[in-house]
Amino acid sequence: MPRPPDALPGWLLAELEPVRRLAAALTDSPAEAADLVAEALARDPSWTQLPVGHDPAPLLRTGLVRTYLRGGGDPSRAAVALRDTERLTIGEIASLVDRPTRRVATDLAGAPPGDREHGAGPPAVTAPSLAVVVDRYTAAAREVRREPARRRRLVAAGLLVGALVVIGVVVLPTLATRLLPPDVREPGEWRFSHRVELADGWSVEQRLLTPVTERTVIRLPITNGDPGSCTITLAERVEPVARRAETHPVRVQDHDATYVDDPALDPYVVWSYATERHAVVSCSRLVTPESLQLQVADAVVFDGEQLRTPFTLTARPAGYRVDLVSWTGPAAREVLVELAPDDVSAAPTIVVSSGRPEPADRCFPADGTVRTARTVVPRPDEICLTASWSTREPAAGRALDEVSGLLQRAADVTDPRTWFDADDLPG
């Protein structure tokens, strides 16, 4: 089984709408649904080995259901959810929930479509947002990667001491920058209010914006055979510290901060850098000692930074809002914008992307034509659209038509110098 990556790739983000809906049907709780999706992706990362062009939906669905059942989920509820959200046959459902076909047929007969009392019909709650799933996945993946490492804890402890000798010292940002008031991003602004001064051996793996949070994932030098990583998150609110956690005060950038060691999570440093604004730096437990984690926290600079996109929208599509913007991979060449519908039951999510190696519903090359064959891998010069619903659904076709009409591509999609500021995206 492959190890789960630190962050979800952009191509996969566009494919998670069906499993998010299924998780909502299984749990009836957006928070529990987000945890379930994140756990399934981390526990069974076989999706990382899918061939280009292969539909990941069956594999993701199987991983989600098995994770639900391993956690003590009700097989009868799973059968009903698979019928109502996935439209599977009794035989397909029986294979997924590992029950006799006759038993599955009995379960379904006891919960006719639309009978909410027995869990049938559409989910009673909204599917978890993509941003929440991404957040929960980061913690779940680290927990999974940490499990085999615990067996090497004694060896790792000795090697960490040596690793500290070779880790480069963070270059301190200039005093002038530190003396400036911290930049504060307002809700709906599609720009960053922080950056990270990278030390030798550090690299940016992903950057992500939602209307109210921003996140940067950086990869650290390999220690004890495992790559370390840290996630910097800025938000208005943070989760309260659990009673089981051990804490102690630290100093970050002349601010009082708290180092939190919660056995259920990776350790993290949290501090308030402005009024009602908090920063959290969470790092891999076994390969990132506290001293290095504090170096990462000190390397966070609260200064405005504008990233760019190879496309923009001339207006906000009716009934939609920009819900997430992400940049992934070397030179941030994989760019993804998620458009979330105001009414999730009436319209699909639409993803606009560039540099994503997965097939899409519509791709627009530089010559002004349009390609609609979803089995064709996008080219480097194309902007592509993907709907979370089948294009046979009228609502999906209408949404794709509207977004297509509002889409504006850069003069040269392969040259970031011609790209648009992300803040040009409609709110």
Q: Is residue 222 situated within a structural domain?
A: yes
Smallest CA-to-CA distance from 266 within 382, 143, 91, 87 is with 143
Beta pairing, strands 350-354 & 334-341: antiparallel
Q: Are residues 161 and 297 in the same domain?
A: yes
Dump the DSSP string for 34-55: HHHHHHHHHH-GGGGGPPTT--
Smallest CA-to-CA distance from 273 within 236, 244, 309 is with 236
Average pLDDT over residues 416-423: 92
Q: Are residues 159 and 235 in the same domain?
A: yes
> Under a CB-based contact definition with an 8 Å cutoff, are residues 108 and 81 in contact?
no
Tens of pLDDT, residue by residue over 337-392, are 999 999 989 999 999 999 988 889 999 998 888 988 666 678 888 999 999 998 88
Q: Are residues 284 and 367 in the same domain?
A: no
Grade residue 124 by pLDDT with cuts at 50, 70 and 90.
Answer: low
Burial track 317-328 (b if 16+ CB lie within 10 A, e otherwise)? bebbebbbbbbb
Tell me which of 118, 144, 177 is where a domain ends.
118
Q: Are residues 184 and 263 in the same domain?
A: yes
Q: Is residue 126 situated within a structural domain?
A: no
| Between 119 and 73, the higher pLDDT residue | 73
Tens of pLDDT, residue by residue over 210-233, are 998 999 999 988 666 667 889 999
Q: Is residue 37 situated within a structural domain?
A: yes
Q: Are residues 259 and 333 in the same domain?
A: no
Residues 420, 268: Cα–Cα separation, whole Å: 34
Q: Are residues 295 and 353 in the same domain?
A: no
Q: Are residues 25 and 81 in the same domain?
A: yes
The predicted pLDDT at position 284 comes to 85
Q: Are residues 167 and 284 in the same domain?
A: yes
Average pLDDT over residues 49-55: 80
Q: Is residue 138 situated within a structural domain?
A: no
| DSSP at 361 | S
Q: Are residues 381 and 339 in the same domain?
A: yes
Give me the CATH number covering residue 276.
Answer: 2.60.120
* Amino acid in the structure at residue 230: C
Query: Which residues form the domain of 221?
Result: 152-301
> Under a CB-based contact definition with an 8 Å cutoff, are residues 253 and 179 in contact?
no
Q: Is residue 145 situated within a structural domain?
A: no
Give me the CATH number covering residue 48.
Answer: 1.20.140.160
Q: Does residue 181 have a pLDDT over 90?
A: no
Q: Are residues 270 and 318 in the same domain?
A: no
Grade residue 160 by pLDDT with cuts at 50, 70 and 90.
Answer: very low
Smallest CA-to-CA distance from 242 within 260, 268, 256 is with 260
Tell me which of 286, 301, 316 is where a domain ends.
301
Residues 339, 172: Cα–Cα separation, whole Å: 38
Residues 96, 286: Cα–Cα separation, whole Å: 36
Q: Are residues 28 and 98 in the same domain?
A: yes
Grade residue 333 by pLDDT with cuts at 50, 70 and 90.
Answer: confident
Q: Are residues 72 and 159 in the same domain?
A: no
Tell me which of 273, 301, 329 is where a domain ends.
301
| DSSP at 330 | G
| Count: domains in the chain | 3
Q: Is residue 338 situated within a structural domain?
A: yes
Q: Is residue 171 situated within a structural domain?
A: yes
Helices (H), 276-393: 290-298
Q: Is residue 129 situated within a structural domain?
A: no
Phi, psi dihedral angles at 411 (to 5 degrees): -60, -35
Please state the pTM of the whole predicted model: 0.68
